[in-house]
């Protein structure tokens, strides 16, 4: 074999090899090692899904969420001196004649109660329910480390049943406030508190409903409903999501026995945060107010007024000297829009006006004697109850 044939043979081998490589690249690219960094991915091994198993994306344990938040939930103990009402018989002159004035001295006794609270600031601010500390002469907070400092009331808001306390501590484990407005029915939630005084307890459930109102519990209602067990002593405690973020403040239960029956209510964290900021910054919650008595339109009432729809509210009364009277709003007017947004019922209109800062100018769309008119008014601050 001479040199020319050898070169021709090598050229043919290289041509065949190159052709095979090109075919391999297009047909089996995974067999070609292209070099670079190799990334190792750890993937959870899941059992095969059968017809009887239900796939779930939830965690097996919520221990991490509880560990992150449990030290932010405190127990609250209150005490107040109660003067017992004297027996009417003691006011009788005949009784006084025989037993003297000492017998009619009112008796006093110490009344204690318990609840829960949530540390919302490292500077010592604690959020709880107003009914937990209402009328208390002394308030003590039990921290996770066992210390029991005295607390003072920064401010209260009976309309939402919220209160803010303060203890002279710093660098406290404050809870992280979550996005309560993003809650969906079916989301897992956990209630942390001190039911019946047995000590810190965690219960689990789901969000049963959102936006619950017209329950007659508070003036302003926008409750999260949950089936997580809430009992006496849980009031003011935390309702957290599966990630350990505060989404609500446990407030009330619906029960015929006094214990949990799977219908509990919590104030959304978004509402609680706004109330807390108002109390800390201004000492009170400032809400808008017009000074009108609003009544829902029933089909019968709308027909009697010659109004074809039940959307809107009837002005049943106007407070003398209030913002509504100054704006020439009259009893018998039907409010159909507030700032050009439709009004559905009296509660919606109350919440819409209350959410405005005092001094805000608003435009009301009214129906007066069958004619549509617009009136501008200035919102004042809602008076204390």
In-domain check, residue 231: yes
The verdict on 247 and 271 lying in the same domain is yes
Report the percentage of the chain scoring pLDDT > 90: 44
pLDDT tens column, 171-215: 899 999 999 999 999 999 999 999 988 889 999 999 999 988 878
The verdict on 159 and 113 lying in the same domain is yes
In-domain check, residue 14: no
Q: How confident is the model at residue 239 (pLDDT cuts 50, 70, 90)?
A: very high
Last residue of a domain, one of 282, 297, 325: 282
The verdict on 269 and 363 lying in the same domain is no
In-domain check, residue 60: no
Alpha helices in 117-159 (DSSP H): 130-133
The verdict on 301 and 365 lying in the same domain is yes
Residue 266: per-residue pLDDT: 95
Is pLDDT above 50 for 99? yes
Residue 18: per-residue pLDDT: 61
Residue 214 token pair: 């017209």
Is pLDDT above 90 for 267? yes
Higher pLDDT, 221 or 323: 323
**Catalytic residue from among 235, 260, 349, 380:** 235
Q: Across residues 222-244, what is the average pLDDT?
A: 93
CA distance 174 to 334: 47
Higher pLDDT, 259 or 277: 277
Contact 245, 189 (CB under 8 A): no
In this structure, what DSSP letter does residue 368 have?
E
Please give the full DSSP string across 228-254, using - where no structure is assigned: S---TT-TT-EEEETTS-EEEEEEEE-
Among the ranges given (81-95, 121-135, 229-243, 256-270), the one the predictor scored with the smallest mean pLDDT: 81-95
Residue 367: per-residue pLDDT: 87
Q: Across residues 81-98, what is the average pLDDT?
A: 65
Contact 61, 202 (CB under 8 A): no
Mean model confidence pLDDT for the chain: 82
Range of the domain at 307: 288-381
CA distance 324 to 326: 5
Last residue of a domain, one of 117, 139, 166: 166
Residues facing 212 on adjacent strands = 223
Residue 309 appears among annotated catalytic residues = no
Higher pLDDT, 344 or 139: 139
User: Strand, helix or coil at 68?
Assistant: helix
In-domain check, residue 96: no
- Strand pairing report for 313-318 and 292-296: antiparallel
Contact 32, 25 (CB under 8 A): yes
Residue 350: per-residue pLDDT: 83
Q: Across residues 118-127, what is the average pLDDT?
A: 94
- CB count, 10 Å around CB of 118? 29
Residue 287 token pair: 């809400």
pLDDT tens column, 24-66: 545 555 444 444 433 222 222 343 333 334 445 667 789 999 9
CA distance 296 to 312: 7
**Catalytic residue from among 161, 227, 260, 270:** 161
Edge-to-edge strands, sheet with 108-119: 138-142, 73-83, 108-119, 125-129, 162-166, 152-157
Least Cα distance to 249 among 182, 202, 193 occurs for 193
Is pLDDT above 70 for 247? yes
pLDDT tens column, 339-374: 989 888 888 788 888 888 888 999 999 988 888 999
Domain count for the chain: 3
Residue 356: per-residue pLDDT: 87
Token pair 């907070």 is at which residue? 141
Is pLDDT above 70 for 299? yes
Is pLDDT above 80 for 123? yes
Token pair 């993937």 is at which residue? 43
Q: How many CA atoms lie within 13 A of 385 on its CB side?
A: 9
The verdict on 352 and 292 lying in the same domain is yes
In-domain check, residue 143: yes
In-domain check, residue 358: yes
| CATH number of the domain encompassing residue 149 | 2.40.10.10
CA distance 359 to 340: 18
Residue 80: per-residue pLDDT: 87
The verdict on 184 and 276 lying in the same domain is yes
CA distance 276 to 34: 59
CA distance 122 to 28: 60
| CATH number of the domain encompassing residue 364 | 2.30.42.10
Q: How confident is the model at residue 270 (pLDDT cuts 50, 70, 90)?
A: very high
Token pair 């991490």 is at which residue? 64
The verdict on 278 and 300 lying in the same domain is no
Residue 257 appears among annotated catalytic residues = no
In-domain check, residue 319: yes
In-domain check, residue 5: no
> Does pTM top 0.85 for this prediction?
no
**Catalytic residue from among 131, 159, 208, 227:** 131
Q: How many CA atoms lie within 13 A of 319 on its CB side?
A: 13
The verdict on 302 and 326 lying in the same domain is yes
Residue 70 appears among annotated catalytic residues = no
Last residue of a domain, one of 116, 141, 166: 166
CA distance 122 to 170: 6
- The full length of the chain comes to 385
Q: How confident is the model at residue 254 (pLDDT cuts 50, 70, 90)?
A: confident
Among the ranges given (259-263, 316-320, 370-374), the one the predictor scored with the smallest mean pLDDT: 259-263
Contact 186, 206 (CB under 8 A): yes
Least Cα distance to 136 among 81, 195, 186 occurs for 81
């Amino acid at each position: 074999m001479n040199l020319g044939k050898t070169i021709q043979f090598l050229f043919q081998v290289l041509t065949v090899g190159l052709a095979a490589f090109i075919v391999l690249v297009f047909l089996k690219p995974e067999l070609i090692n292209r070099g670079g960094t190799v990334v190792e991915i750890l993937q959870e091994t899941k059992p095969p899904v059968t017809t009887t198993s239900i796939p779930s994306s939830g965690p097996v344990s919520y221990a991490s969420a509880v560990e992150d938040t449990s030290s932010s939930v405190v127990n609250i103990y209150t005490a107040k001196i109660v003067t017992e009402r004297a027996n009417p018989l003691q006011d009788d002159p005949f009784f006084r004649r025989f037993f003297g004035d000492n017998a009619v001295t009112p008796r006093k006794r110490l009344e204690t109660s318990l609840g829960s609270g949530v540390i919302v600031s490292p500077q010592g601010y604690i959020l709880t329910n107003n009914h937990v500390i209402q009328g208390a002469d002394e308030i003590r907070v039990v921290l996770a480390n066992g210390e029991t400092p005295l607390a003072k009331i920064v401010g209260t808001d009976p309309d939402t049943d919220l209160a803010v306390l303060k203890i002279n501590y710093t660098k406290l484990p404050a809870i992280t406030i979550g996005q309560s407005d993003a809650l969906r029915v079916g989301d897992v939630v956990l209630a942390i508190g001190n039911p019946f005084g047995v000590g810190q307890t965690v219960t689990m459930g789901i969000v049963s409903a959102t936006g619950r109102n017209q329950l007659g519990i508070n003036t302003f209602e926008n409750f999260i409903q949950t089936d997580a067990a809430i009992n006496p002593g849980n009031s003011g405690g935390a309702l957290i999501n599966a990630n350990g973020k505060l989404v609500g403040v446990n407030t009330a239960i619906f029960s015929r026995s006094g214990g949990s029956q799977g219908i509990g209510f919590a104030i959304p964290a978004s509402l609680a945060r706004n109330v807390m900021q108002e109390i800390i910054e201004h000492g009170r919650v400032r809400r808008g107010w017009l000074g009108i008595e609003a009544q829902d339109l029933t089909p019968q009432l709308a027909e009697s007024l010659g109004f074809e729809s039940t959307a809107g509210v009837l002005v049943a009364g106007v407070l003398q000297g209030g913002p509504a009277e100054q704006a020439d709003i009259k009893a018998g007017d039907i409010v159909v829009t507030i700032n050009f947004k439709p009004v559905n019922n009296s509660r919606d209109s109350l919440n819409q006006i209350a959410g405005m800062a005092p001094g805000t100018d608003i435009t009301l769309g009214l129906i007066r004697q069958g004619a549509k008119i617009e009136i501008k008014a200035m919102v004042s601050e809602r008076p204390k109850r």
